[in-house]
Amino acid sequence: MYGLVLRIRQGRRRALCMRRKRRRCGMEPRDAELIKGGTLAEGTEGLSRRGFMRAAGLSLIGAAAAGGALSLAGCSSDNAQGGVAVENKGGCGDFNESLYTDAFPVKTRNVPVIDVESGIVRQGNVAFEMRNIAENEIVRTEETDVLVCGCGLTGSVAALAASDDGETRVLCIEKMSKGRGMFEGMGVVGGSVMEAAGNEVDKAEMMDRMRHAAYYRVPIDPIKLWADRSGEAADWLQEKFDEGEAGIVEFYKANNPNAHNFDVPQTEIEFKCDQWSETTTKNAGGAGIYIVADLANTLGKRENADLRYNTAAVQLERNDEGRVTGAICKDADGYFRVNASKGVVLATGGFDANPAMLKAWCRAEDIAACASWCPNEGTTGDGQLMGLAVGGQMDPLPAAIMNFDFGSPDSFYASNLGITALVSQGIMINEQGRRFCSEGLPFQARSNAITAQAHYGTKTFRVASTTQLGKNADAILEKLQPYIEKDWAHEASSLDELAKWMDVPAATLKAEVAQFNTFVDNKKDEMFNRPMAKATKVEGEKYYAIKHQSSILATVSGLVVDYHCRVLDYDNEPIEGLYAAGGASGGFFSGNYPRHIFGPSVGRCVTFGYVSGQTAAQGVN
């Protein structure tokens, strides 16, 4: 097996060297020269150079089975080796973990980490296929100027931007039945909404804050692109809302300027609509799906745009000069080729709906005991894998995730559930009965503190009392009842009783509560330096505990792009004809998503979608 890996990697490096040589000298290598001395994977004999690069570009992925996005007759997988890691019940393939650990087009090495299963079990259908798709499997060929893969927020923005001139032919495909999105505000630097609110964002400061949040483990251009053009992109987005039918309006939202000594920059614009219900507006991220639907509706009315659902991109294609020329796609009729004369935009999101990929690419503690907060099952890493297969550069691993606390054993305690006062106002207690961090930290910091506890925070709690419930106690307790019935929460008349339900030492819990109450009296948290101005004592007639875990909304690592959203290879040179945006793109975050900065994820999605669509339509290579 090792010999096969080595020979494939040698062939890959030889191909890369020949490509560089051809660029310098205008030489065109013969297929025999390209594969001389190497043994191709089974089934690749006699391939063209392009076919060889597709089949061998991912090391052993050709030996690992690859699945499709749809349950279609005739789907089959290659020979899986090493056992099936994930059963893709809704698709047509089996998956071996080597697909994700051997996915890189450069030499890699293994880092030993604790082997844990992902607490996230939501498995979407992986569209990406790494095998040589025979010509007789392709039922038709279509022509377009720009192919956009994905029609969530990023993809709908990219397709609209590419088709704005009324002439560029745009095909936007979405493997799901509709585009989805779960988000609130958009982080911007400048723009008319900020100007009207009198909020001036210092561009240099914001670029520095974003780079500081990534500990400067990011290239120059992606953050600069966001800082330079996010205001312009936000103004353009409002124009698209005006063109649409929902009547969506952007507005400036001022946030608390400090979260446990994390300065919170005022970068957020949010969205409102008279058609949205109160439940939608109060549900964190709930409006996203309606925004995506409005943008897709506008796109679908354009004569030069073609939007198709239940249609997946499964594999990119490159010509002999190394340019991405389009993709092999799949719909209910089977595989078909799309030739995209100006380029392909990958807007497929992250890979939070792919547990095996999370296990391969994320920290063990980030996924071991995390709930999943997202209704979307389409984010399975298709864009990242397709980009890697043609030589694209991936963000360094482990991947950055957008992690929160407020996780329930199954999902997320969203604000519209009516128990926020209990979940947010109490103190955080681990399975030893000890308080373990400042409750005033930003979301991602609290989440990290949870997963740093024993057993990755499987048994962590929020503990509160009648005092924290306040004037709305009756309404909150009514909303809490379903969680008590699930045994996720408990009401007790004493801390001793509460400790018994939590299965923690009663003496320890009582000591921690007493110490915290002293901190409230003294207005100083001597243990974790929590801001105490609004803190209240944990005391009263009743005491409450609710299971309180980490949760993941999305992954935010992807293919590294430049200032024009062109995907870079591992020599930091752009791959002609290939663009990435939103969650499929990289170079923007490292380690964590900085939740103390409002809206950079949606800001990146909209800005990079806007720029990638424009530059692809303009033929920027």
CA angle 131, 351, 375 (to 5 degrees): 125
DSSP letters spanning 180-238: ------EE-SS-HHHHHHT----HHHHHHHHHHHTTT-S-SHHHHHHHHHHHHHHHHHH
Indicate the DSSP class of residue 592: B
Q: What is the pLDDT of residue 130?
A: 85
Q: What is the pLDDT of residues 474-510, one digit of tens each?
A: 999 999 999 999 999 999 999 999 999 999 999 999 9
Q: How far apart are CA 564 and CA 414, in angstroms?
A: 36
* pLDDT tens by residue, 253-270: 988 877 777 888 899 999
Could you tell me the two tokens for 154? 């990023």
Contact, 311 vs 329, CB < 8 A?
Answer: yes
C-alpha closest to that of 434 among 527, 557, 356, 336: 527
pLDDT higher at 146 or 40: 146
pLDDT at residue 54 tops 60: no
For residue 582, give every residue at least 6 positions away whose Cβ sits within 8 Å of its Cβ, in sequence order, or none: 150, 152, 153, 154, 155, 347, 349, 604, 605, 608, 609
Unique residue bearing structure tokens 């109160």: 278
Tell me: pLDDT of 92 over 50: no
Q: pLDDT band at 77, cuts 50/70/90?
A: very low
One-letter-per-residue 3-state SS of 375-421: CCCCCCCHHHHHHHHCCECECCCCCCEEEEEEECCCCECCHHHCCHH
Q: Cβ(533)–Cβ(440) under 8 Å?
A: no
Q: What residues contact residue 505 under an 8 Å CB cut-off, 6+ apart?
A: 432, 433, 499
Query: Is residue 116 pLDDT above 90, yes or no?
Result: no
CA atoms within 13 A on the CB side of 382: 33
Confidence of residue 94 (pLDDT cuts 50, 70, 90): very low
Structure tokens at 258: 């400090």
Contact partners, residue 247, CB within 8 Å, separation at least 6:
241, 273, 274, 275
Least confident of 279-283, 374-378, 395-399: 279-283
Percent of the chain with pLDDT over 90: 67
Rounded to whole angstroms, the Cα distance separating 377 from 362 reads: 18
Distance in angstroms (rounded) separating the CA atoms of residues 419 and 423:
6
577 and 199 Cβ atoms separated by less than 8 Å: no
Q: Where are the domains of the chain?
A: 147-400+556-618, 403-552
CATH number of this structure's domain 147-400+556-618: 3.50.50.60
The token pair that represents 547 in the structure block: 């299971």
Cα R_g (the chain), whole angstroms:
25
Cis peptide leading into residue 398 (ω within 30°): yes
Res. 96 pLDDT band, cuts 50 70 90: low
300 alpha-carbon distance from chain centroid: 25
Q: What is the mean pLDDT of residues 522-547?
A: 95
The answer to whether the CB of 88 falls within 8 A of the CB of 95 is yes
Q: What CATH code would you report for 403-552?
A: 3.90.700.10
Q: Band of the pLDDT at 595, cuts 50, 70, 90?
A: confident
Residue 81 CA to residue 254 CA, distance in Å, equals 54
